[in-house]
């Protein structure tokens, strides 16, 4: 009985090598792309956080002015920029850049104010930066 | 016979090709790792800066006492704390978080101006910084 000898043909190693290098290249590129995307997200988060605290600082300075204005018995909406009066409350709007704003709603209580809402108002006309092309199901 | 003779040169070419590809790909992996590390450090720096800002905002009058108890030091008109590469508090560390707190009187209270920054002392680069203000009615 003849034993069949196992042999690697010419080109098999090359083919295997190309496949392995190709797979490694894909993993390396994916790792780099992912790290870069994380970097962009980190920068964006840092910018947004800095803008929020900047706007909050401006709001606090205006609240000091509002408090002084109410102490004097004056209407803050007539004197301080960004303050508007509705039927039952005042609104203080401070821009955070990128379309978002910090909105403070407060009511007059005697000669001072009481904050009833303090939140970030997202831009109404917000659009995603890149609209992904999604499969429409057809 | 001719085919057998081709296997050795083919193997040599493959080894060279693999070595070249590995040299390039290892660099790409190293770049991805260093970018990831940079992002992690930046995020950590931002979170720590934000933490200090929130601590001061909670009670600006006693913020200095609270931070000194947490390991911060005072000097040159600011409060600071340095950290090693693993973010453990250490003297002459790699990163430094510094706080500048200014109190200005307002008509009906006090306005506290807060500026916190995290610096990489090795690269002499500000990694994260935040500035804000807090108004306290009638505070002294």
| Residue in this structure with the two tokens 């295997």, named with its chain if needed | A16
CA distance A122 to A102: 9
Confidence check: pLDDT of A65 > 60: yes
Confidence bin at A70 (pLDDT 50/70/90): very high
Chain A residue at shortest CA distance from B13: A14
**Model pTM score:** 0.84
User: From the CB of residue A55, how many other CB atoms can be counted at a distance below 10 Å?
Assistant: 21
Q: Looking at beta carbons, which residues of chain B come within 8 Å of A38? A: 35-36, 39
Confidence check: pLDDT of B1 > 70: no
Interface test with B, best of A38, A74, A112, A115 (most B CBs within 10 A): A38
Check if the beta carbon of residue B106 is closer than 8 Å to that of residue B135: yes
Q: Which of A9, A36, A58 sits opposite B35 (nearest CB)?
A: A36
| Residue in this structure with the two tokens 């500048």, named with its chain if needed | B100
Q: What is the pLDDT of residue A99?
A: 83
Confidence check: pLDDT of A132 > 90: no
Confidence bin at B8 (pLDDT 50/70/90): confident
Confidence check: pLDDT of B93 > 70: yes
Check if the beta carbon of residue B41 is closer than 8 Å to that of residue A35: no
Q: What is the pLDDT of residue A7?
A: 72
| Residue in this structure with the two tokens 């070419």, named with its chain if needed | B13
Confidence check: pLDDT of A26 > 90: yes
What are the start-end ranges of the E strands in chain B?
73-75, 78-83, 95-105, 109-120, 125-137
Q: Looking at beta carbons, which residues of chain A come within 8 Å of B56? A: none
Q: What is the pLDDT of residue B92?
A: 84
Interface of B with A in 32-91 (CB under 8 A): 32-33, 35-36, 38-39, 42-43, 46, 50, 53
Measure in Å the smallest separation between the Cα of A20 and chain B Cα atoms. 9
Q: Which of A14, A36, A53 sits opposite B131 (nearest CB)?
A: A53
């Amino acid at each position: 009985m003849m034993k069949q000898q196992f042999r690697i043909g010419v080109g098999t190693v090359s083919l295997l090598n190309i496949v392995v290098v190709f797979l490694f290249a894909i993993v390396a590129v994916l790792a780099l792309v992912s790290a870069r995307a994380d970097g962009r997200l980190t920068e964006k988060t840092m910018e947004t956080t800095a803008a929020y605290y900047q706007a909050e600082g401006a709001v606090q300075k205006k609240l000091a002015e509002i408090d002084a204005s109410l102490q004097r018995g004056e209407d803050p909406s007539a004197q301080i920029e960004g303050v508007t009066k509705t039927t039952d409350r005042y609104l203080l709007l401070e821009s955070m850049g990128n379309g978002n704003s910090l909105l403070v709603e407060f009511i007059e209580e005697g000669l001072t104010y009481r904050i009833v809402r303090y939140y970030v108002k997202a831009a109404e006309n917000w659009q995603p930066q890149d609209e992904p092309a999604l499969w429409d199901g057809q | 016979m001719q085919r057998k003779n081709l296997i050795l040169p083919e193997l040599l070419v493959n080894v060279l090709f693999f070595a070249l590809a590995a040299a390039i790909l290892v660099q790409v992996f190293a770049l991805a790792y260093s970018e990831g590390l940079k992002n992690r450090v930046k995020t950590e720096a931002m979170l720590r800066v934000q933490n200090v800002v929130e601590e001061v905002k909670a009670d600006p009058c006693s913020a200095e006492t609270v931070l000194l108890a947490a390991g911060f030091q005072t000097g040159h008109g600011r409060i600071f704390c340095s950290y090693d590469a693993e973010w453990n508090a250490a003297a002459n560390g790699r990163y430094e978080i510094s706080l500048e707190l200014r109190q200005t009187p307002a008509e009906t209270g006090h306005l506290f101006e807060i500026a916190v920054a995290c610096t990489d002392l090795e690269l002499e680069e500000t990694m994260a910084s935040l500035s804000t203000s807090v108004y306290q009615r009638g505070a002294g």
